[in-house]
Amino acid sequence: MQAVITKQKAFFQSGATRPYAFRRKQLLNLKTMLETNEKRLMQALKDDLHKSSFEAYSTEIGILIHSINHTLDNLKAWMKTETVKRPLFLRFTKATIRKEPKGTILIIGPYNYPVQLLLEPLIGALAAGNTAILKPSEFTTNTEQTLKELITETFDETTVAVITGGVETAQKLLEYPFDHIFFTGSPRVGKIIYKKAAEHLTPVTLELGGKSPCIVDKSADLAITARRIVFGKFINAGQTCIAPDYLLVDKAIKSDLLEKLKLTIKDFYPEPKAELSRIVNEKHFDRIVDLIDNEKVVHGGSHDRKTRYIEPTILDDITHDDPIMQEEIFGPLLPIITYTDINQVIDTLKTKPRPLALYVFSEDKTFTNRVITNLTFGNGAINDTIFQVTNPYLPFGGTGLSGFGNYHGKASFDTFSHHKSLIDKSTRVDPPIAYPPYTKRKMTLIRRLLK
């Protein structure tokens, strides 16, 4: 560990990572790695999480290739030194912002999207001219090993290296003074990362989670609403940080929506045991199953610990006091809370931790604007779920307990870049107003200039 980090820091200090050509080559190498080893990565994801080939490609491999292409198309523009305006009293200066790499980056990935959420930050780190140490999740062992082998084959360890292991390995890594730490995972672990980073004053990006609400207004198109909620909730067996965690549904349309949700689940997953992803391990399986209140199950509820399968499950007549509402579910359970007054809903949500995502289904723009304006959340969608994460032009990140810092597209480049501000002052003139001795006349002039 020490040797690899030392090599990377020395390589970065040599300046070799800074040129555009070097950055472009690393991104192309990463793209080739993904394209050439698509089947191998898909098999690892199948072995770990029972992901279908469609889910594995669309949510892990394909989305990364798209992100790399977007970055390659825009990298030169992002790297350019930016000239900015200056106030009148600096009229004889030129003001610029230079985008420089930060150094050696530590990226700690999660288990739910173990390829995408480890390599998406790497795209930004490489684009910005950094070196990177990757720590994949130890819970997805096949993907962890596959990524280690592929990264080692693709990159020199002075540029990108993978270090594997469990909690002890992560704790040891955090002892080193990285130039930026990027972590995706739970708020509990995020606090540990933040505390350790503070010892070195290392900047961090925390992509965490939380209970993301989904509000359904009585004006919503219920057929489309049901399809988009079921898709966003049950993809990857609910193990998605921006999945709609629970529904807040207007009482007037609750029964109709519930029936459409049930029909949509049957339509999407005619053979759910064959088609759905699995919970990552038995510990998380047990935690999720314990949240099922059989008296409130209105659809699904079956599960198999041997295969870590949990059927898409809907629970009705839920309140904010129920056990299922005390933590992020991160599984295929969909609780429904009924409301009659959206103002009460807003007031209640204001008392909760700020979620990573929020969703509103409504054809009433006044209703939608009331919700969006009065509630704070990391990102979200109107009449859709989770697709906001696929737009590289939108920065992605949380707020409060759901994390801080942004990435994706240019936001990734900016996150892993130091923005160095400079002024370049002419020596042809040297106005004496700023220099002592200070006179009444100078004071009069400075007051005018600083208005």
User: Which residues fall within 8 angstroms of residue 7, CB to CB, at 6 or more apart?
Assistant: 157, 158
- pTM across the whole model: 0.96
Catalytic choice (55, 120, 241, 311) = 241
Q: Is the dihedral of CA 182, 174, 102, 158 positive or negative?
A: negative
Residues of the chain with pLDDT under 50: none
Neighbours of 55 (CB within 10 A): 21
CA-to-CA distance for 70 and 15, rounded, in angstroms?
25
121 in Cβ contact with 182 (< 8 Å): yes
- Kindly report the length of the chain: 451
In angstroms, the first-to-last Cα distance of the chain is 55
Residue 202 has a pLDDT of 98
Q: What is the DSSP letter of 57?
A: I
218 in Cβ contact with 307 (< 8 Å): no
φ/ψ of residue 171, rounded to 5: -65, -40
Nearest residue to 273 (alpha-carbon basis) of 245, 230, 237: 237
Neighbours of 145 (CB within 10 A): 14
Q: Say whether the peptide bond before residue 270 is cis (omega within 30 degrees of 0).
A: no
Check if 214 is active-site.
no
Check if 241 is active-site.
yes
CATH numbers and ranges of domains, the chain: 2-208+404-420 (3.40.605.10), 213-390 (3.40.309.10)
263 in Cβ contact with 230 (< 8 Å): no
Side-chain half-sphere exposure of 110, counting CA atoms within 13 A? 23
Q: How many helices (H) and strands (E) does the chain have?
A: 17, 18
Catalytic choice (55, 60, 207, 328) = 207
